[in-house]
Structure 1
Amino acid sequence: MQVCAAPPFAAEHALSCDARWRPHDLLRLHRLRQFDGEPEWVRVSFERAPYAVVRRALAADGFVAIGLRGAERSQRYGAWVHLDDIETAVPPEELAQRSPLAERTAFPAFTALAALQRDTTGTLSEFVWGPTGSTGFELATQAPTATLSSDLDVLIRAPEKLSHHAAIQLLSYLQAIAQRAGIRVDAQLETPAGGIALAEWAAGKARVMARHARGPQLIADPWAPAHGDA
């Protein structure tokens, strides 16, 4: 179960998200400041791979909300870092053509990713996309993270409205790749309103859940001008 550190700033100052870093970007950090009551695994995991993922949460100026991951699926910890602690940022799309270590290529998640990489004319090739989750983390850090049962999580940039028909085609394409690899491919559309599950949008629901820094919300049109940036 994910727990969260107390923010290193007054709650009323958590009003913004720094546009230089977007949800699912992986940040390589110079250091990770100590948080009161943090789980024991946090320091061990950070020494193994000094990376954190940008999460959807508001922060005060000069800070970025991050998520840390441990070796177990249940080991997730939300925190904040100061901008001075960030060394580099790796967005998911920079990982789209990376490969794991040779001895890891047979893992189903990497098999599915390789199929997407080889298909340069497939439905996904029309979009800017990249792997997230354990697959993306391993590609960025080279630290073994994915398991034999890991799904392939994919982020798809969707700044322009995606029709339900196009969403159905994209979902069917990804499901076919997933079936051949024997795992799930979990795709998320990154829209102006936040993160939307591709499967929900393809289902043609009247409202879909948009994950936003200000909290999840049910909306009819993730591309409506009234919505702010995620």
Structure 2
Amino acid sequence: MPNTSSFTLTPIHQSIRYYLSMSNLNCISRRLNSEIETTFIPELSLEGSACSAQETQYEWSNEIYFHNGRFLQKQEIHTAFYKNHESSPEHFIGCPHQNLTVHTPHFGIRDGMCEAEAWVRSIPPRCSSHPMQKWNNFQGPYTHITSCTICHSDTECYIQLNGAFLDIRYTCYRDLGAGLDPNDPKWRALLTGTGVNHRPQYEFEVLKRVWLTARQLERRGLEEVTHHTPNGVFHVRSQERDEA
């Protein structure tokens, strides 16, 4: 469904050729049975792969669900930095208010083991005085989770050394609204960035709802990561009882 008009949501990475518009949602919403509470929307879901000019490989997927009168989106991309391979930084966009950049890592040997070190820049930053963080695989896998306080959008990033390459997975979870009105506050915030703070910074309510809906629909590729946040440990499966 390529559609590059200004009324489509920006994909989470430049390699993804998927553009979702309000007209797509509106068309589906008119066709849905009013008695349907939760369903997978195959017409708006797609997966694919891409290769950059530097021969960097990307695998991505986009899934749309309908749950209790709202459209939910799970968009994910996998890529990797390879040792002795020329590559550029990877930039990911969760919504108009949050993004994350993984800079080209340095590979080496430490105590006879492979080592990778990379700078990670996030907006908003984990620490207001340190927008960039240097990560090393000897610290363990890198995990990052963010909830936008304006948009209904939560993101996860997971980085780990896997042999001779640095594996990156970035996932975005969104509540797109009812799909009936382009002026829906949820849609407008995602599309234009306009809106006001209305969500707690570390709530992750959207991530929980989208992930658990995908699990209810028996969708594949659901990863589970434990995150340490200022509000304590967050693990999505632990929230299942609260959402039931």
Q: TM-score, normalised by structure 1?
A: 0.28
| Structure with greater strand percent | 2
Q: Report the TM-score when normalising by structure 2.
A: 0.27
Question: Which one has the bigger helix percentage?
Answer: 1
